[in-house]
């Protein structure tokens, strides 16, 4: 019987939740082109500054019962959920990679994907100020990830940008309508910089399968004109990329074993 020491996972969770608290600020302020550093957190309704003891990830939300300390305005459940989500990933990454440079690299990458996904979900945009520097920053996978070489990085960027660009171009020619935003193209180029050609193909495949499933689900279960609502593609691509980090290699091998019998 192996006994696991839980101290490190708990510390990693708290660390991640604090980063998640910062990601909430980024998700809220980047689309409004506001500084993510200054001023400190304040209530969007009564504009009062939130003191540090009311800004503790997850716990403050529970103590304040999801309301602003001053004006009692309801605070979205999403804030603590993003903190929990961001807290869980360092723990998962620790169990898969240990405390290693690849683990740290993937955590940064996942944080950026969380921010991009929620901004895309809220505003149907993927800001260039995240995706373009992201392509450059995550090209450092060549240093951090043993399987990635500078050549893999370049192929990943061009495959990620190129494949989606081609699909978007053909869609535009056929339907005379914009099906996919330029933001998705830059996001996939960024994913390509981090994960290479294999990651790009895996991400497009799983992202499309999930996007299609969700679209069909909306058609079946949602009544009225809402069901044709344009679903942003960014969150599905991000989910596909995160799936690749944890299970990509295993799923690819399983897939090829299955189709070759």
Identify which of residues 73 and 212 has a Cβ nearer to Zn ion in the complex.
73
Number of Cβ atoms within 10 Å of the Cβ of 80: 21
Q: Compute the least distance from the CB of residue 25 to Zn ion, in Å.
A: 16
DSSP code, position 39: S
Identify which of residues 40 and 101 has a Cβ nearer to Zn ion in the complex.
40
Beta carbons of 85 and 110 less than 8 angstroms apart: no
Question: Which member of 62, 71, 132, 222 binds Zn ion (CB under 5 A)?
Answer: 71
Binding-site string for Zn ion from residue 28 to residue 67, where x marks contact by CB under 5 A and - marks none: ---------------x-xx---------------------
Question: Which member of 68, 112, 148, 241 binds Zn ion (CB under 5 A)?
Answer: 68
Q: Compute the least distance from the CB of residue 22 to Zn ion, in Å.
A: 20
Number of Cβ atoms within 10 Å of the Cβ of 134: 25
Q: Compute the least distance from the CB of residue 13 to Zn ion, in Å.
A: 28
Q: Compute the least distance from the CB of residue 45 to Zn ion, in Å.
A: 5
For Zn ion (CB under 5 A), the number of binding residues is: 7
Residue 26 binds Zn ion, judged by CB under 5 A = no
Secondary structure class of 185 (helix, strand, coil): helix
Secondary structure class of 13 (helix, strand, coil): helix
Tokens encoding 30: 């980047």
Beta carbons of 206 and 240 less than 8 angstroms apart: yes
Chain positions 85 to 144 lying near Zn ion, rule: CB under 5 A, are none
Paired with 42 in beta bridges are 49
Phi, psi of 25 (to 5 degrees): -60, -45
Identify which of residues 49 and 253 has a Cβ nearer to Zn ion in the complex.
49
Nearest to 50 by CA among 25, 20, 30: 25
Contacting positions for Zn ion (CB under 5 A): 43, 45-46, 68, 70-71, 73
């Amino acid at each position: 019987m192996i006994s696991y020491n839980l101290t490190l996972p708990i510390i990693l969770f708290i660390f991640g939740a604090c980063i998640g608290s910062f990601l909430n600020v980024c998700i809220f302020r980047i689309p409004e082109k506001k500084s993510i550093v200054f001023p400190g957190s304040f209530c969007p309704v009564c504009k009062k500054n939130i003191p540090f003891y009311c800004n503790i990830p997850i716990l403050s939300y529970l103590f304040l019962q999801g309301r602003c300390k001053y004006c009692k305005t309801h605070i979205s459940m999403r804030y603590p959920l993003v903190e929990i989500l961001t807290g869980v990933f360092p723990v998962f990454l620790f169990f898969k990679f240990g405390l290693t440079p690849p683990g740290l690299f993937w955590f940064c990458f996942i944080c950026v994907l969380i921010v991009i996904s929620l901004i895309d979900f809220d505003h149907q945009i993927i800001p260039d100020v995240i995706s373009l520097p992201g392509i450059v920053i995550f090209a450092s996978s060549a240093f951090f990830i043993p399987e990635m070489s500078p050549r893999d990085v370049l192929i990943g960027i061009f495959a990620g940008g190129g494949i989606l660009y081609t699909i978007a171009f053909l869609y535009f020619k056929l339907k005379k309508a914009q099906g996919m935003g330029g933001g998705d193209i830059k996001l996939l180029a960024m994913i390509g910089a981090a994960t290479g050609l294999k990651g790009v193909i895996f991400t497009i495949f799983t992202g499309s399968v999930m996007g299609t499933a969700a679209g069909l689900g909306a058609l079946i279960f949602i009544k009225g004109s809402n069901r044709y609502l344009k679903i942003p593609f960014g969150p599905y691509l991000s989910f596909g990329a995160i799936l690749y980090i944890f299970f990509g290699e295993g799923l690819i091998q399983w897939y090829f074993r299955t189709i070759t019998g």
